Amino acid sequence: MRVVIAEDAAMMREGLVRLLTDRGFEVSAAVADPDALRSAIAADKPDVAIIDIRMPPTHTDEGLRAAIDIRRDHPDVGVLVFSQYVETRYATRLLADRPTGVGYLLKDRVADVADFVDALTRVASGGTALDPEVVGHLMRAGQQTAGLASLTPREREVLALMAEGRSNAGIAAALVITPGVVEKHVANIFAKLGLPASDSDNRRVLAVLRHVSGGGRAR
Q: Which of 130, 150, 173 finishes a domain?
A: 130
Q: What is the pLDDT of residue 131?
A: 85
Q: Is residue 84 part of a domain?
A: yes
pLDDT band at 164 (very low <50, low <70, confident <90, very high): confident
Q: What is the pLDDT of residue 213?
A: 60
Q: What is the pLDDT of residue 51?
A: 97
* For residues 151-159, average pLDDT: 89
CATH assignment of the domain containing 155: 1.10.10.10
Q: Is residue 219 part of a domain?
A: no
pTM: 0.77
Q: What is the pLDDT of residue 217?
A: 40
85 with 120, same domain: the answer is yes
Q: What is the pLDDT of residue 105?
A: 92
CB neighbour class for 46 (10 Å; exposed up to 12, middle 13-18, buried from 19): buried
Q: What is the pLDDT of residue 182?
A: 94
10 with 110, same domain: the answer is yes
* For residues 102-110, average pLDDT: 89
Average pLDDT, the chain: 85
Q: Which of 90, 110, 130 finishes a domain?
A: 130
pLDDT surpasses 70 at 116: yes
